[in-house]
Structure 1
Amino acid sequence: MNNVYFPKDEDSLNFVLNVYASEVKDRADWIVRRYKNFDTDSMDVMTILKTSIDIIGDAIVIDRIINGTGARKNEREIVKERVRLIHDRWPGLNNLNLPENLGKVRNDYEHFDTRLDQWAKASERKIIIDNNMTPPGIFQNAKEKEVIRNYYDGVLYFWNKGVVLKDVVKWATDVSYEMFKSH
């Protein structure tokens, strides 16, 4: 074992990797619970958007744990080793692809202040459309940077990039399953 940052002995390494696996399982369970209780007919738009963003937030944590996405420069070596160890332990993770646009939405979500700065600079009309439940494109004259959060028919649109929530739930469930199927 050529570990630099993680334990070299198998028992300690198993313990450490199982802590990561438990966190993934908890996050996946939270995602599933939120989605099961997701009733857009009885929820107001703010609750729908907050629940959607919470689902995305937990998926982001799972992605960061198993893929190292978004690691800072000073963290890259330990993260690279962690990701290698996780994927060596659970090779089925290599076959699971992130839901479409999850990475882009994650980036916009994590850098929300920067996106607002870009809007402030780019929007000539200084209008913003936010907290909606409408079909995409209904605001025909709205430019890309003018529509922040919108939910419609199972899709969270964040800065006009859509993520299908049921795809996020399936991905998180599949990741958790891969990490616990042999336990």
Structure 2
Amino acid sequence: MFAGKLYYLSNIYFQEEGGESMSVFTEEILDRYKREIILKAKWTYDSIVEGLGVWNAIAEGKHDGKAEEVIRRFVSGITYAMSIVRILNVAGARNSSRAQIRVDAIKNKWPNLPDAPQGLKQIRDDLEHFEERLDTWAFTSSSHSIVDLNLGMSPEGLGSFFGVEEKELLRNVDLENNFLFWNHKVKLKEVLDWAQKLKEEIEK
């Protein structure tokens, strides 16, 4: 583990260790992170747009598909988006020292990158730890009803009408294009806009 202070000199990033300086990040190395962020931003955008396109086609009777085909694409977009968030943040990194150097270098190079949409991390955590959410449902649901893989619904309306509990609401999307899980949500349009703005900012 490195010890000491981080310095920025001529686009090369140094970590002082035991009185010596070690070159850590160069422009070439930063470019590799840049290309990865751009790639994941494109995958995020494309996945969500494809999901919306399939949803519209189903609604118009032009596609004999199922809601799970749409939600699968939304889940992919959310997963790609969160992989960008992990590049841009230290939280959750196994090697926090290296992660901090990486994050500082990226933010020094591109100081105006937009913040991730509210709710993105929580929804992604719900999806990644789906088995734990099912465990909670299995042990706490009184009726063991389950509402999953639905499009164009409202958790508030469904809950009040059918008496569905919060932990029985899993992967659903409402009419305002919010991806819902329990009482958590992320606006898919905000994820789209964020991915596009991020790509534009880092390509400058």
User: Normalised by the shorter chain, which TM-score bucket?
Assistant: 0.7 to 0.9
Aligned equivalent of 2:111: 91
Q: Distance in 2 between matches of 1:14 and 1:76?
A: 21
Matching residue within 153, 157, 167 for 1:138: 157
TM-score (norm 1): 0.86
- Contact kept? 1:21, 1:176, Cα under 8 Å: no
Q: How far 1:16 moved relative to its partner?
A: 1.2
Q: TM-score, normalised by structure 2?
A: 0.78
Q: 1:49, 1:131 within 8 Å by CA — same for their partners in 2?
A: yes
Q: Is the 8 A contact 1:34 1:55 kept in 2?
A: yes
* Contact map agreement 2:81 2:191 (CA 8 A) in 1: yes
Greater helix content: 1
Superposed counterparts of 1:144-155, under 5 Å = 144-153=166-175, 154-155=177-178
Contact 2:172/2:179, CA 8 A, preserved across alignment: yes
Structure 2 counterpart of 1:71: 93
Structure 1 or 2: more strand by fraction: 2
Deviation at 1:4, TM superposition (A): 6.8
| Match of residue 46 from structure 2 | 33
Alpha-carbon spacing, 1:173–1:59, altered in 2? closer, same or farther (3 Å): same
Alpha-carbon distance between aligned partners in 1 of 2:76 and 2:125, rounded to the nearest angstrom:
15
Matched, 1:102 2:120: yes
Runs of 4+ in 1 over 3 A off after TM superposition: none
Partner of 2:10: none
How far residue 49 of structure 1 moved from its aligned partner, in angstroms, is 0.6
Q: One-letter code of the match for 2:132?
A: T
Matched, 1:51 2:73: yes
2:142 aligns with one of 119, 124, 128: 124
> Which runs of 5 or more structure 2 residues have no equivalent in the other structure?
1-6, 8-13, 59-65
Cα pair 1:27 1:59 within 8 Å, conserved: yes
Per-residue CA deviations over 1:135-168 (Å, capped at 9, x if unaligned) read 2323221111111011122111123311111100
AA matched with 1:57: T
Residue by residue over 1:40-85, the C-alpha shift from the partner in whole angstroms, topping out at 9 and shown as x without a partner, is 122420111101101101101110011234323xx21111111111
Alpha-carbon distance between aligned partners in 1 of 2:124 and 2:147, rounded to the nearest angstrom = 20
> Which amino acid is 1:41 matched to?
N
Larger deviation, residues 29-38 vs 108-117: 29-38
Q: How large is the Cα RMSD of the aligned pairs?
A: 2.0
Distance 2:56 2:134 in 1: 30
Deviations 1:7-38 (A, max 9, x none): 727xx611111111101101111222233332
Matched, 1:180 2:203: yes
Specify the alignment match of 1:8 in structure 2: 23
Of the two, which has the highest radius of gyration?
Answer: 2
Q: How far, CA to CA, are the matches of 2:150 and 2:91 in structure 1?
A: 29
Flag structure 1 segments of 5+ consecutive residues without an equivalent. none
SS of 1:139's equivalent?
helix
